[in-house]
Structure 1
Amino acid sequence: MPIQKINLTVDQAAEASGLGRTTLFGLIASCELESIKVGRRRLIPVTALDAYMERLRSEQNERPARRNPLADAVEELSDDQLRRVVALLGLRQLPEQERGAVVDSGGAAA
Structure 2
Amino acid sequence: MSDRPPSTRPSAARTTEMGVRYAIVPVPGLSLETVARRSGLHPDLVRRFVALGLVDADSDTSGRLVFAPSAPAALARVQRLRTGLCLNYASLGLVLDLLDHISLLEATLRRAGMRSDPPPWT
Structure ID, larger Rg = 1
- Given the two structures, how large is their TM-score scaled by the length of structure 1? 0.43
Higher helix share: 1
